[in-house]
Amino acid sequence: MGNQKRHEIDRNTQVIRVNKMNPERTHIESAAQLLRKGGVIAFPTETVYGLGANGLHEPAIKKIYLAKKRPHDNPLILHIGYKKDIELYARDVSAATKKLIRAFWPGPLTVVVKKRKKIPDAVTGGLDTVALRMPDNIIALALIRTSGVPIAAPSANVSGKPSPTTAAHVYNDMYGKIELILDGGRADVGLESTIVDCSVDPPVLLRPGKITRRQIEQVIGVIENDVMKNGSLFHKPKSPGLKYRHYAPDARLILVESEPPAIKSTINALLRQYRTQKKRIGILAFFPGHKYHLRKNELLVNLGMSTYRASRKLFETLRYFDAQKVDIILAESFPLSDHAIMNRLRKAASEIIIANNKDGPLL
Ligand code: AMP
Ligand code: MG
């Protein structure tokens, strides 16, 4: 009987709407209860939705990998409820790390630090370091504090897909695989956290996010940047997760990088080319002045040049194109070439075309 009941829960994923300013105690309590029992649930954070489990309980963590189909050497971020809790899970925390925490927590910054023994290998992929973050989301903080455990939580998408920024995205990817989704509305940032490896000196930027390298350097001085190197075939990634293709829609995404006029003419040329192949095309644009002459079956989303809005809507737009059964996404590059938006687009792209400004499109 007990077994049968658990099975039932497994097949039906419950979605509970939670007030994001003042989360209902009963909802938080029942979610925390599931976590304490070794369950996996999805919850909102300010970056993207997370797929959470008790970060000290190996069998629960394994369920996250299973639900996401995530490679086992791709470690998870532990989410904690108080700044001071870093001492419970990390050792030899440097002065620079403490400064970063003071400046940016709660917030979209993850620090990689030397781990304490109690953290299971399943969280860290066997590494001697652990990634920690205190999210800036009232529901997430209430959940962590109420459950009384750190919550291991990668993004709540199937591995490789665009991260979910709404509960509906999570539902699409995770229905039948997890017991509960807490719906706290649209994620405010829309991109995953910035990750800084603070276990080395100087610290190293592993993944860009809303908190920029410049902001970090204003607090702790010059850091190294591993983001570009991590894209290279010849470089052993410092962070295992960085070697995988990520954030990718089902459609083939072609990213066109250049100055605005060359981007526009190259995308127009690609548009003509794929039209003749009868492909359904979606254009992802950022430049407000760029008008494309589309046919009935073709889609255009222009996210504009505001980093706030474009970040917030990027993954949602990739998922929208997939839902519309687009075959090819032609993406303009974002005007700031080292912004986190470009990092995500480059990783999502099947092909990157560097358009030549002077000679027109290189096709
Ligand atoms: P996600 O939660 O899906 O955004 O992925 C978390 C990412 O954090 C992983 O893909 C890794 O790149 C990174 N990460 C987690 N733990 C570590 C660690 N100990 N050292 C380096 N990077 C880490
Ligand atoms: Mg992820």
Residue-wise pLDDT for 65-81, tens only, equals: 999 998 888 899 999 99
Q: How remote is the CA of residue 277 from the centroid of ligand 2, in Å?
A: 33
Q: Name the E strands within 81-191.
A: 90-91, 109-115, 129-133, 151-152, 180-183
Nearest CA, atom 1, ligand 1: 154
Q: How far is the CA of 204 from the centre of ligand 1 (A)?
A: 13
Residue 341 backbone class (left: φ over 0; alpha: ψ -120 to 50; beta: rest): alpha
Distance, in Å, from the CA atom of 255 to the CA atom of 32, rounded to the nearest integer, reads: 41
**150 C-alpha to center of ligand 2: Å?**
18
Q: Which of 47, 48, 76, 244 to mutate to test the pocket of ligand 1 (most atoms within 8 A of CB)?
A: 76
At the top level of CATH, the class of 2-225 is alpha beta
Residues with a CB atom less than 6 Å from ligand 1: 74-75, 77, 112, 124, 127, 129-131, 154-155, 192, 195, 206, 239, 241-242
pLDDT in tens, 291-325: 899 999 999 999 999 999 999 999 999 999 999 99
In 3-state terms, what secondary structure has residue 77? strand
Q: Give the other-Cβ count within 10 Å of 10's Cβ.
A: 13
**What distance in angstroms lies between residue 241's CA and the mean position of ligand 2's atoms?**
8
Look at residue 6 in the predicted model and tell me its pLDDT. 42
CA distances 66 to 40, 51, 151, 156, 174, Å, are 11, 11, 17, 12, 11
Residue 225 has phi, psi (to 5 degrees) of: -125, 115
Q: How many helices (H) and strands (E) does the chain have?
A: 12, 17
8 Å CB contact between 218 and 291: no
* Per-domain boundaries in the chain: 2-225, 252-354
Q: What is the pLDDT of residue 291?
A: 86
Question: From the CA of 29, how far away is ligand 2's center (Å)?
Answer: 26
The pLDDT, as a whole number, for residue 73 is 84
Does residue 116 carry a pLDDT above 90?
Answer: yes
Q: Which residues surround ligand 2, an ion (CB under 5 A)?
A: 154-155
Could you give the C-alpha distances from 129 to 58, 284, 293, in angstroms and in order?
A: 17, 38, 51
More confident residue, 243 or 190: 190
As a whole number of angstroms, the distance between CA 283 and CA 264 comes to: 11
- Tens digit of each residue's pLDDT (9 = 90 or more) over 24-50: 999 999 999 999 999 999 999 999 999
Cα-atom radius of gyration of the chain, to the nearest Å?
21
What does the pLDDT average to over 359-363?
48
pLDDT digit string (tens) for 278-291? 999 999 999 998 88
Tell me the ligand closest to 164's alpha carbon: 2
Distances (CA, A) of 303 to 253, 255, 295, 309: 16, 15, 20, 7
Yes or no: domain 252-354 corresponds to CATH 3.40.50.11030:
yes
Q: Whose CA is nearest to atom 3 of ligand 1?
A: 154
Banded pLDDT at 343 (limits 50, 70, 90): very high
User: Per the structure block, which two tokens stand in for 130?
Assistant: 């652990």
Mutate to test the pocket of ligand 1, among 112, 200, 344 (most ligand atoms within 8 A of CB): 112
Q: What is the mean pLDDT of the chain?
A: 91
Residue 281, φ and ψ in degrees, nearest 5: -115, 140
- Start-to-end CA distance of the chain, whole Å, equals 64
